Structure 1
Amino acid sequence: MAEMLVIGSRGSPLALKQTEMVAAALAAAGVPTRVEVVHTEGDRVLDRPLSALGSVGVFAGELESALAAGRVDLAVHSLKDLPAQLAPGLMLGALLEREDPRDVLLSRVADLEDLPPGARIGTSSLRRTAFLRHRRPDLVVVPVRGNLGTRLRKWREEGWEALTLAAAGLLRMELGDLIRQYLDPWWMVPAPGQGVIAVEVRAADTRVRELVAGLDHAPTRRQVEAERAVLAAVGAGCQMPLGAYARWREDGRLEVAGQAASPDGRRLLRAERAGPPEAAAALGEAVGRALLDQGARDLLNPA
């Protein structure tokens, strides 16, 4: 039997569920594991918006430190929480097949457009806030922090008319029946890598790299290469109002959209490119540069 691997994970129910998925896949390949919970800044500090904690790695920094120090053999992340540049010496050893990348609406109404003016809609994301304010400036966007269960509880207790979340977390926690509407990812552009579980490893650890390589899903990796190239080119952090989404066309080409907005939603920048999948990173970089040409750096990092 292979030597036991120690998996680093955040302690939220969703994070542990995702880690269980990785552990199960490794167990199927004959690799035993145990889980080490690592508490991150984003989990500990719940009284401030994510954007106030800094734009890079608030849910990943401590996990990456534990991995780099050798306290864990691999770390499991929601890929959207990882910055474009990983910590030195670390790499993405595997990207599991993507869950639905879209954002969703939870509400008593069936469509975002049916919400009345002044309706309150909760979200934890500056990206969702900006894109919602652009599309429906008449709504009142309410910031909400905490894990998935906490956000659902606050929505019910506060009586907000709606809540927006990533579909993937609800589906993985078997809460898909709460979803009233899947928001079109071509206007509510997802965060780069949304819906993807990432397995981060030490680049020099060839043993672990070989053990996790079989978990990698090639089509998902192509999408991720494009989306994270947008993030890298623009130089935005993972908590900034930037979306990037790569989707497969019927002809096998990859279509990449990038979108950035001012926090108040008044300004919206957008760029799109399409090309062969082997050019995924170049397509994403071209989208990012197009956004920069339109003024994205000033929009995302105001003085």
Structure 2
Amino acid sequence: MKNKIRIGTRASELALWQAHLVENKLNELGYETEIVEVSSTGDEVLDKPLHQIGGMGLFTRTLDNAMLRGEIDIAVHSLKDVPTDLPEKIVQAAVLERANILDVLVFKNNTEFLKENSATIATGSLRRRAQWLHKYPNHTITGLRGNVNTRLQKLEDNDWNGAIFAAAGLERINLLPENHQYLDWMIPAPAQGAIMVTALEADKAALEACEKLNHRNTEIAVFVERQFMKVLEGGCTAPIGGNATIENEEIHFVGVLSAIDGSREIRVEKKGMISDFENFGGTCAKELLADGGKELMIEIKAEMKK
């Protein structure tokens, strides 16, 4: 058993909440722990969209580097921010049981604007932007970056009608306002609501400790979603949604690829056996690509480079 497990985390309130969740679980198992805060580029550069400053891996890179330098033993991540291919020498150590997967609209006053042609909704996510515009093509989307607290304050300070958040983030730190509406029609980002712990492949003691935190059904579900995203060749900033649920021994999956302006979207819905989970996400992605997704993905990548 390690003398002390150093837990690396970003310094935002939500990231720290997640790190302390892992810490408490390890403490309950008898491990001594220490929280180590690490700042990331994604937290510091707030005036540009994510896809323009690094995309997937932006929030995880500094923690990866700290681990490779020996400054931390494990790192705690929102799994939807983690690249599908981890850096060399770093491996997935655990996936915790998933929280709420849904996106949520936080609004001002009321939701009458949903019936109108004119409204302004804030989000920094291309996926949320695309799916919102597909449903409400006459609305205006404005960019929104920053940690949860910062984004809620920006909503308060501006004349927007609402802003879109991951429900799990607001619920975890008790910041979900009274004026909210869960968006059960919006397909979430792959792995949304899940927490991943990483460690060095060679650190057997850390891996053994974290293995005790792993939730197998969540691990399988997010594996399917992330494989779907990987085969589509989309980073976390691309307008890709995917959600896998497990009932008994069956996986139910729904995935979507959307044009950035919301003008088109291609969906796939499929059921498969849990025994075939290692190939299931890729199979779903290939069906979507064959149904016009390949051409749409080319257009999306060209648009993101502008």
Sort the TM-score into its range (normalised by shorter chain): over 0.9
Please say if residues 256 and 283 of structure 1, whose CA atoms lie closer than 8 Å, have aligned partners that are also in contact: no
Q: CA deviation at 1:36?
A: 1.2
**Distance (whole Å) between structure 2 residues aligned to residue 12 and residue 6 of structure 1:** 18
Q: Tell me the alpha carbon deviations over residues 184-235 of structure 1, each in whole angstroms, 9 at most, x when there is no partner.
A: 1xx4111111000110111121110001111101110111111011011111
SS of corresponding position for 1:46: coil
Q: Which sections of structure 1, spanning at least 5 residues, go unmatched?
A: none
| Letter matched to residue 56 of structure 1 | M
Tell me the secondary structure at the aligned position of residue 205 of structure 2: helix
Amino acid at match of 1:208: A
Aligned 1:121-132 pairs, distance under 5 A: 121-132=121-132
The aligned runs of 1:172-191 (5 Å cut-off) are 172-178=172-178, 180-184=180-184, 187-191=185-189
2:281 paired with 1:281: no
SS at match of 1:215: coil
Once the two structures are overlaid, the 10-residue window that deviates more, 145-154 or 258-267, is 258-267
> Who is 2:246 aligned against?
248
TM-superposed CA distance for 1:177, in Å, is: 4.3
Residues 89-238 of structure 1 aligned to structure 2 (within 5 Å): 89-108=89-108, 114-178=114-178, 180-184=180-184, 187-238=185-236
Contact residue 106 and residue 177 of structure 2 kept, 8 A? no
List alignment gaps of at least 5 residues for structure 2.
none
Deviations 1:81-134 (A, max 9, x none): 001111112111111110000001111466587352211111121110011111
Q: Tell me how far 1:2 sits from its aligned partner.
A: 4.5
Task: Give the CA deviation at 1:278.
Answer: 2.4
TM-score, normalised to structure 1's length? 0.94
1:276 to partner: Cα distance: 1.3
Give the equivalent residue in structure 2 for 1:62.
62
8 Å Cα contact 1:260-1:300 kept in structure 2: no
2:212 alignment partner, SS class: helix
Size of the alignment, in residue pairs?
A: 300
Q: Is the contact between residue 90 and residue 200 of structure 1 (CA under 8 Å) also seen in structure 2?
A: yes
CA RMSD of aligned residues (A): 1.7
Percent of counterpart pairs with the same letter? 35
The runs of at least 4 aligned residues of structure 1 exceeding 6 Å deviation read none
Q: Does residue 257 in structure 1 map to residue 254 in structure 2? A: yes
